[in-house]
């Protein structure tokens, strides 16, 4: 935090008035379910994005980051549109949305910093969106609930950035609770916290360090495929989402889907939603072994039916299956690279870490990053006055 304050002072010639923090997230189970109307089980992590900010009287929005050299200085105007593929499109999209809703703001000097690996499936974009929404809400007394800030982040992602993502990421980082998973019904937006008690295990995050190429367009492709599969099933089934269909009903009606690729996509979604139910039941009675099995099964389905994994993530999970003190693992987030999570015996973490490093490097040619994750709180303010 001191480094941020110093850097803010040297860039803007004054101290920041506030510092806010928003975490990233992992999803324990329920992948590619949020935009299909089911329940998911994410939790906020301790890594995330920070924003040091002060109002200015210059009617200027100044965007700086410690992660990217690119800065911007934009005159305050009624609305904005996306500029290329720059990092500040995310906070700019949120500011645009806040202005579109008729709110009045002043100029802002902003310095962002993230310790989340960017574009690695830990929701760096949801983190910066919710962070910006929360900060503006506090600075200008907008009285927007955290849930609505999450919805605003999703809207920015869908309309401003152009990715048809669901609500899971923004909701998780806005509403996270220390040591708890969030069981979120993405259709009704109802949620409950489930204590994530993993006893003598820890939740490891393994970053494949694979650059995610074309991830946005492939994500939108999966979104569209689910829509098409649903449309075909609706010829005989009176449903709103793929997650309204159980496995038996799906098998009885699968013939309605002519394209086998669409059949596989629907099978992943419907079976994954079934696994979410099994995983919840397991977690509620502290049956971690069964929970871990659902994680492995989820990965397999993402690999075979949804085809969003890849050799890097598969190599990680393949290793985990052979490691006796790992009871479950799967890719987390959209896929196409990014991170996997694993439940590993606490006292074996060092050993796990060094062995998976060696195994992965030998197969893939470079190292992954392995770290133990803490389940943290959602977005918040760190400290008020620095002057
Ligand atoms: C990305 C999206 C989420 C969700 C996951 C897959 O993280 O932003 O909305 O769809 O992928 O579960």
From 168, 173, 187, give the residue whose CB has the most ligand 1 atoms within 8 Å, as the site to mutate. 168
Residue 171 has pLDDT above 80, yes or no: yes
pLDDT-derived band at 211 (thresholds 50, 70, 90) equals confident
Q: What angle is formed at CA 112 by the lines to CA 115 and CA 385, rounded to 5 degrees?
A: 110
Residue 229: what pLDDT? 98
- What is the Cα–Cα distance from 316 to 301, expressed in whole angstroms? 15
pLDDT in tens, 123-152: 999 999 999 999 999 999 999 999 999 999
* In the predicted structure, residue 251 carries a pLDDT above the cut 80: yes
Selection from 320, 272, 265 nearest residue 297 by Cα = 272
- Split at pLDDT 50, 70, 90, the class of 1 is confident
Identify the band that residue 216 occupies on the pLDDT scale cut at 50, 70 and 90: confident
Judged against a pLDDT cut of 70, whether residue 385 lies above it is answered with no
For the chain, the maximum distance between any two Cα atoms, rounded to a whole number of angstroms, is 67
Best of 90, 268, 334, 340 to mutate for ligand 1, by most ligand atoms within 8 A of CB? 334
Distance, CA 16 to ligand 1 centroid (Å)?
A: 33
For position 21, what pLDDT does the model report?
98
Distance 375 CA to ligand 1 centre (A): 19
pLDDT of residue 213: 66
Global pTM?
Answer: 0.96
pLDDT beyond 80 at 157: yes
**Which of 154, 196, 176 has the alpha carbon at shortest distance from 28?**
196
Q: Which atom of ligand 1 is the closest one to the Cα of 35?
A: 10
Judged against a pLDDT cut of 80, whether residue 387 lies above it is answered with no
Give the pLDDT confidence of 17-70 residue by residue, as tens digits.
Answer: 999 999 999 999 999 999 999 999 999 999 999 999 999 999 999 999 999 999
User: In DSSP terms, which residues pair with 53 in a beta bridge?
Assistant: 18, 110
Query: How many percent of the chain have pLDDT more than 70?
Result: 98
What is the structure's pLDDT at 214?
61
pLDDT digits (tens, 9 = 90+) for 101-130: 999 999 999 999 999 998 899 999 999 999
How far away, in angstroms, is 33 Cα from ligand 1 center? 8
Query: From the CA of 381, how far away is ligand 1's center (Å)?
Result: 26
Q: Which atom of ligand 1 is nearest to the CA of 166?
A: 9
Q: Check residue 266 and give its pLDDT.
A: 98
Phi then psi for residue 232, to 5 deg, are -65, -45
Contact 12, 386 (CB under 8 A): no
- What is the whole-number distance in angstroms between the Cα of residue 66 and the centre of ligand 1? 26
Whether residue 384 has pLDDT greater than 80: no
- The band of 2, judged by pLDDT with boundaries at 50, 70 and 90, is confident
Q: Which of 49, 43, 40, 115 is nearest to 375 (CA)?
A: 43
Catalogue the active-site residues: 169
Which residue puts its alpha carbon closest to atom 2 of ligand 1?
165
Q: Whole-number mean pLDDT of the chain?
A: 96
Residues with CB under 6 A from ligand 1: 27, 31-32, 34-35, 165-166, 168-169, 333-334
* Two structure tokens written together for 339: 């991170």
Residue 89's pLDDT band (cuts 50, 70, 90): very high
Each residue of 144-155: pLDDT tens digit?
A: 999 999 999 999
State mean pLDDT over 379-386: 78
**What value does the mean pLDDT take over residues 258-287?**
97
Mean pLDDT in residue range 369-375: 94
C-alpha 231/C-alpha 121 separation (Å) is 29
Predicted confidence (pLDDT) per residue in 234-247, tens digit: 999 999 999 999 99
Q: Whose CA is nearest to atom 10 of ligand 1?
A: 32
Residue nearest to atom 1 of ligand 1 (CA): 334
């Amino acid at each position: 935090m001191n480094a941020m304050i110093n850097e803010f002072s040297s860039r803007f010639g004054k101290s920041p008035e506030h510092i806010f923090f928003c975490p990233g997230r992992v999803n324990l189970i329920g992948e590619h379910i949020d935009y299909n109307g089911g329940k998911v089980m994410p939790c906020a992590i301790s890594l995330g994005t920070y924003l040091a900010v002060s109002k200015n009287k210059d009617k200027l929005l100044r965007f700086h980051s410690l992660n990217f050299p690119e800065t911007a200085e934009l005159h305050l105007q009624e609305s904005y549109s996306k500029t290329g593929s720059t990092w500040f499109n995310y906070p700019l999209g949120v500011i645009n949305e806040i202005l579109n809703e008729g709110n009045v703001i002043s100029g802002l000097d902003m310095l962002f910093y993230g310790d989340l690996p960017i574009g690695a499936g830990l929701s760096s974009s949801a983190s910066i969106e919710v962070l910006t929404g929360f900060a503006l809400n506090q600075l200008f007394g907008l009285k927007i609930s955290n849930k609505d800030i999450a919805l605003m982040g999703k809207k920015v992602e869908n309309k401003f950035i152009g990715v048809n993502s669901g609500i899971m990421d923004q909701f998780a980082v806005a509403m996270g609770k220390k040591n708890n998973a969030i069981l979120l019904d993405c259709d009704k937006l109802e949620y409950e916290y489930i204590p994530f008690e993993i006893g003598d295990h820890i939740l490891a995050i393994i970053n494949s360090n694979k650059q995610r190429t074309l991830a946005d367009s492939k994500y939108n492709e999966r979104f569209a495929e689910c829509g098409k599969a649903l449309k075909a099933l609706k010829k005989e089934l009176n449903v709103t989402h793929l997650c309204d269909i159980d496995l038996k009903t799906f098998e009885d009606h699968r013939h309605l889907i002519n394209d086998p690729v669409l059949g596989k996509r629907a099978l992943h979604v419907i079976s994954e939603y079934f696994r979410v139910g099994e995983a919840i039941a397991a977690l509620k009675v502290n049956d971690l072994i069964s929970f871990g099995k659902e994680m492995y099964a989820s990965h397999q389905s993402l690999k075979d039916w949804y085809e969003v994994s890849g050799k890097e993530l598969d190599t990680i999970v393949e290793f985990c299956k052979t490691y006796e003190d790992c009871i479950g693992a799967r890719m987390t987030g959209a896929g196409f690279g990014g991170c996997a999570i694993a439940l590993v015996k606490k006292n074996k973490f060092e050993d796990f870490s060094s062995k998976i490093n060696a195994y992965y490097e030998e197969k893939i040619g470079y190292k992954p990053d392995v770290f133990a994750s803490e389940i943290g709180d959602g977005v918040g303010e760190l400290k008020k006055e620095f002057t």
